[in-house]
Amino acid sequence: GQQLNQSPQSMFIQEGEDVSMNCTSSSIFNTWLWYKQDPGEGPVLLIALYKAGELTSNGRLTAQFGITRKDSFLNISASIPSDVGIYFCAGHRSTSYGKLTFGQGTILTVHP
């Protein structure tokens, strides 16, 4: 069953605004990943976080691995129209060799 709660489910923002989304879990993950998916395409890895407390940036994207290892957030600064898409968080446990557990996704719409 679903173990990651991602919010918000959708966001409608104006170009230039900042965006924040987060994922929480009732259990610990050892790695947090953030992906962006365009309709009909595969998820594209944006940021990977490997240590509790880690703060990582990738251009206008910033993500943090929560201290408790049960949450993570993604911020997008100065949004642009091409940021439109579905953003997924995903968690990985070291006890699980393959499985990524995904959040429900955040649908981002950016109005020019």
Partner 1 sequence: AAGVIQSPRHLIKEKRETATLKCYPIPRHDTVYWYQQGPGQDPQFLISFYEKMQSDKGSIPDRFSAQQFSDYHSELNMSSLELGDSALYFCASSLGASGETQYFGPGTRLLVL
Q: Contact positions toward partner 1, by CB under 8 A?
A: 2, 30-31, 33, 35, 40-45, 48, 50, 88, 92, 94, 96-105
CB of 20 to partner 1, least distance (A): 20
The token duo for 12 is 């409608």
User: Measured from the CB atom, is 10 or 68 closer to partner 1?
Assistant: 10
User: Measured from the CB atom, is 7 or 18 closer to partner 1?
Assistant: 7
User: Measured from the CB atom, is 20 or 31 closer to partner 1?
Assistant: 31
CA distances from 100 to 16, 71, 91, 95, 109 (A): 32, 15, 6, 11, 26
In whole angstroms, give the CA distance from residue 107 to residue 12.
9
Residue type, 104: Q
Inter-residue contact 89 to 32 (CB < 8 Å)? yes
CB of 15 to partner 1, least distance (A): 26
CB of 98 to partner 1, least distance (A): 3
User: Measured from the CB atom, is 14 or 26 closer to partner 1?
Assistant: 26
Inter-residue contact 24 to 5 (CB < 8 Å)? yes
